[in-house]
């Protein structure tokens, strides 16, 4: 049975590239005609992980493919401080949505913080990222700079996750592109800037994506005496028009060759304790390795801002990371005894989790596997990512990413339960809906 391209839905949307002016974007305000509209891909935000991952992946794939989506029960498995039910859109989700709406001239409905339902209807070919300010991007090149500014420390990296596939595959004539994002760089329930720089970006380059340069101008925190808004500059060397991501395999990890340490803390005593204890634990577990390399050892600006990242590097160029942004209550000032106890607790946890990642034998850690799903779906042919023995089909986040990709891309992308995928072969700058009708 042929699968026809979806007609555009326009009767309830706002102007292109603008968020809806409807301030009450609760589900009760959405007409039944939207919920039953066959031109939209309808996604229940409570599915699987039921949080922000579903929203981010859906938005980026919709923006790339020009396939309109309707998400309801947004972050339905999360809680809201005000109602206690269904978290709705957070400021970071809205920031990503507005960037993608501007880039694709999308019409939207329900685009406001707290909304539990949204329609995103892109007209991608109208914009193609032409509107950024001119910026010097190095090597004598002039690219485009785009600013995304949060006035709260929502994660800049979750915004990046939502827009990066679009930026890479949009085939803008202005490359490289520079993203300036303010918000949180070291915040709970998100990857850190250090993980992005040391694990995510190098692994993306390993599978064949263009290089991504990350410069953390100022860290953003929620911990400590006061919140701090951070700022990052990200330079993306996007794919050239009509280029495709070639098939890739991450199957042979190789031996662990070294372990790197990142320690952020507000006192010299805490940083020293973290480094010393990591060195001792690694020597005990992996006596064949050289002492861990200190990559970052910096003042966090507050004694209660504590962060530890360990990255295992392999002989075949893979990187596995585990970290902990310390989130337990610290009473009073840190004395010597507290410093030792907290440092030991942090090191035991992070070393133990990294050891588990190493033991499963896979090429990626749990979090990196999540990040690769979208790119597997877009690749020109088969891919395989070995997540390691006993990891099954990945985390709940990874399964959520796959589910969203299959809903939007339908029969054109297929995943198995062992890390494999046959991608759609998306070409940079492609108008996806111009593809021929696919026979089911």
Domains and CATH numbers, the chain: 1-127 (no CATH), 129-244 (3.65.10.20), 254-359 (3.30.360.20)
**Is 432 or 343 the better-scoring residue by pLDDT?**
343
pLDDT confidence bin for 439, thresholds 50/70/90: very low
pLDDT band per the 50, 70, 90 thresholds, residue 80: low
Q: Which of 136-150, 272-286, 378-392 is predicted least confidently?
A: 136-150
Q: How far apart are CA 75 and CA 61, in angstroms?
A: 18
Strand pairing class (41-44; 307-314)? unpaired
Nearest residue to 428 (alpha-carbon basis) of 233, 209, 247, 234: 209
pLDDT for the residue numbered 130? 57
What pLDDT is attached to residue 31?
Answer: 85
**Which range is most confident: 78-82, 114-118, 150-154, 308-312?**
308-312
- Please give the average per-residue pLDDT across 305-328, as a whole number: 98
Mean pLDDT of 87-91: 92
- Compute the average pLDDT of residues 185-196: 97
In this predicted structure, what is the pLDDT of residue 30? 83
Task: Please tell me the predicted confidence (pLDDT) of residue 36.
Answer: 87
* pLDDT at residue 3, rounded to an integer: 38
239 alpha carbon, distance to own chain's centre = 19
- Mean pLDDT for all residues in the chain: 89
Query: With contact defined as beta carbons under 8 Å apart, do 265 and 340 qualify?
Result: no
Tell me the CA end-to-end span of the chain in Å, nearest whole number. Answer: 5
Confidence (pLDDT) at 332: 86
Structure tokens given for 223: 């911990």
pLDDT tens string 113-170: 999 999 999 986 555 555 555 556 565 665 678 999 999 999 999 999 999 999 999 8
pLDDT value, residue 16: 41
Burial class (CB in 10 A: 0-12, 13-18, 19+), 338: middle
Classify strands 438-439 and 2-3 as parallel, antiparallel or unpaired. antiparallel
**Range from 33-42, 304-313, 335-344 carrying the lowest mean pLDDT:** 33-42
- When pLDDT is cut at 50, 70 and 90, the band that residue 331 belongs to is confident
**Is 13's pLDDT higher than 50?**
no
Buried b (16+ CB within 10 A) or exposed e, 39-75: ebbebebbbbbbbbbbbbbbbbbbbbbbbbbbbbbbb
- Kindly give the pairing relationship between strand 293-299 and strand 256-265: parallel
Dihedral of the alpha carbons of 400, 402, 403, 406, in degrees to the nearest 10: 160
Per-residue pLDDT for 440 more than 90?
Answer: no
pTM for this prediction: 0.90
Rounded CA-CA distance 353/358 in Å is 9
Q: What Rg, from alpha-carbon coordinates, does the chain have?
A: 22
Distance CA 32, CA 37 (A): 8
Q: What is the band of 172 on the pLDDT scale with cuts at 50, 70, 90?
A: confident
pLDDT > 50? residue 337: yes
What is the reported pLDDT for 128?
A: 55
Closest CA to 103 of 6, 39, 203, 177: 177
pLDDT at 249 over 50: yes
């Amino acid at each position: 049975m042929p699968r026809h391209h979806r007609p555009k839905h326009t009767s309830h949307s706002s102007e292109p590239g603008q968020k809806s002016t409807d301030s009450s974007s609760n589900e009760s305000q959405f007409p039944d005609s939207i919920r039953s509209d066959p031109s939209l891909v309808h996604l229940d935000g409570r599915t699987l992980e039921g949080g922000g991952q579903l929203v981010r992946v859906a938005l980026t794939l919709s923006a790339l493919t020009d396939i309109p989506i309707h998400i309801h029960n947004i972050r339905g498995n999360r809680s809201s401080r005000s109602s206690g039910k269904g978290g709705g859109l957070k400021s970071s989700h809205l920031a990503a949505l507005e960037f993608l709406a501007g880039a694709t001239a999308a019409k939207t409905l329900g685009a406001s913080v707290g909304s539990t339902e949204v329609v995103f209807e892109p007209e991608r070919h109208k914009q193609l990222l032409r509107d950024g300010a001119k910026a010097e991007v190095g090597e004598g090149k002039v690219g485009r700079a785009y600013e995304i500014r949060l006035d709260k420390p929502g994660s800049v990296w979750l915004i990046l996750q939502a827009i990066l596939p679009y930026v890479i595959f949009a085939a803008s004539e202005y490359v490289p592109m520079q993203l300036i994002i303010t918000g949180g760089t070291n915040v709970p329930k998100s990857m850190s800037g250090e993980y992005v720089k040391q694990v995510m970006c190098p692994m993306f380059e390993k599978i064949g994506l263009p290089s991504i340069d990350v410069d953390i101008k100022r860290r953003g925190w929620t911990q400590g005496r006061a919140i701090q808004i951070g700022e990052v500059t990200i330079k993306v060397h996007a794919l050239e028009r009509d280029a495709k991501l070639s098939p890739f395999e991450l199957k042979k990890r190789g031996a662990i060759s070294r372990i790197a340490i990142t320690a952020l803390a507000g006192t010299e005593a805490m940083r020293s304790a973290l480094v010393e204890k990591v060195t001792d634990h690694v020597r005990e577990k992996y006596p064949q390795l050289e002492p861990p390399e200190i990559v970052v050892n910096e003042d966090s600006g507050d004694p209660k801002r504590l962060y530890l990242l360990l990255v295992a590097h392999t002989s075949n160029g893979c990187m596995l990371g585990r970290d902990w942004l310390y989130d337990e209550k610290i009473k009073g000032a840190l004395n010597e005894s507290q410093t030792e106890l907290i440092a030991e607790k942090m090191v035991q946890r992070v070393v133990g989790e990294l050891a588990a990642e190493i033991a499963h034998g896979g090429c990626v850690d749990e979090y990196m596997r999540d990040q690769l799903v979208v790119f597997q779906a877009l690749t020109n042919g088969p891919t395989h990512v070995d997540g390691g023995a006993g990891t099954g089909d990945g985390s709940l986040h990874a399964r959520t990413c796959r589910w969203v990709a299959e809903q939007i891309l339908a029969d054109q992308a297929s995943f198995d339960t062992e890390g494999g995928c046959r991608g759609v072969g998306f070409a940079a700058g492609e108008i996806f809906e111009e593809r021929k009708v696919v026979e089911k």
